[in-house]
Amino acid sequence: MGPRVVRNAFGKFATGVTVVTCAKDDGVPHGATVNAFTAVSLNPALCQVTLTRQSKACAYLEGAPFAVNVLSADQVDVAWHFAGRPADPAPEWAQGPTSPVLLGNAATISCQPWRTYDGGDHLIVIGEVTDIDVSDRDPLLFFGGKFRELGQPRPSAHWGASLDSPESGWFDAATTFTALPAHRDRVAS
């Protein structure tokens, strides 16, 4: 099975589009377009981004604070800019709570470094969420190798009957979870 077959299958999963931003060693802002982003945990609040090891951002993220800029539907040029096709004018920056951030996002999630893991030809970076800024803008989507926008909601049965419905609270407020030991602790046992 070749990389193109795998990539095409992964491309059937619609994702949001983010730009992961941080500061280089000299303090200059840096960003990389990433669609491999996911929530990891609510308590503690953790999120994950996965970057190709060839990305310059990998070197800057080692033990450094970063932000996940969830792009809005009107930020296609920003996505391309940080994917290697510079936009004119360049995207606008601001100083965020932990690192440089972009302006005009659907949401901005500021993080402190939590853990970094080997992900084959990618690096898995987990951050502890320390600040969130959410706007009313719709997000930019990526599906089948193309940027997309949200469509109208379907007038179908809501999934509220499912126990997985976020409106039903997934887990009640009294639910607690026992943390798993770190990977190296399990290996040493």
Domain ranges of the chain: 16-150
Q: How many CB atoms lie within 10 A of CB 152?
A: 5
CA neighbor of 20 nearest in space, from 123, 169, 167: 123
Give the pLDDT confidence score for residue 83 in this predicted structure.
92
120: left (phi over 0), alpha (psi -120 to 50) or beta: left
Give the pLDDT confidence score for residue 29 in this predicted structure.
96
What are the structure tokens assigned to 184, written together?
């190296």
What is the DSSP pairing of strand 15-16 with strand 37-42? unpaired
In this predicted model, what pLDDT tens digit does every residue of 62-86 receive, in sequence order?
A: 899 999 999 999 999 999 999 999 9
Q: How far apart are CA 62 and CA 114, in angstroms?
A: 10
Give the pLDDT confidence score for residue 52 in this predicted structure.
86
CA 171 to chain centre: 23
- Residue 138, helix vs strand vs coil: coil
Give the pLDDT confidence score for residue 157 in this predicted structure.
57
CA 61 to chain centre: 14
Q: Which CATH architecture has domain 16-150?
A: Roll (2.30)
- Residue 160, helix vs strand vs coil: helix
Give the pLDDT confidence score for residue 186 in this predicted structure.
47
Q: How far apart are CA 124 and CA 135, in angstroms?
A: 27
189 residues of the chain, pLDDT tens digit each? 888 888 778 777 788 999 999 999 899 999 999 989 999 999 999 999 999 888 888 888 889 999 999 999 999 999 999 999 999 999 999 999 999 999 999 999 999 999 999 888 889 999 999 999 999 999 999 988 888 888 877 666 565 556 566 555 555 556 666 676 765 544 454
What are the structure tokens assigned to 85, written together?
């096709």
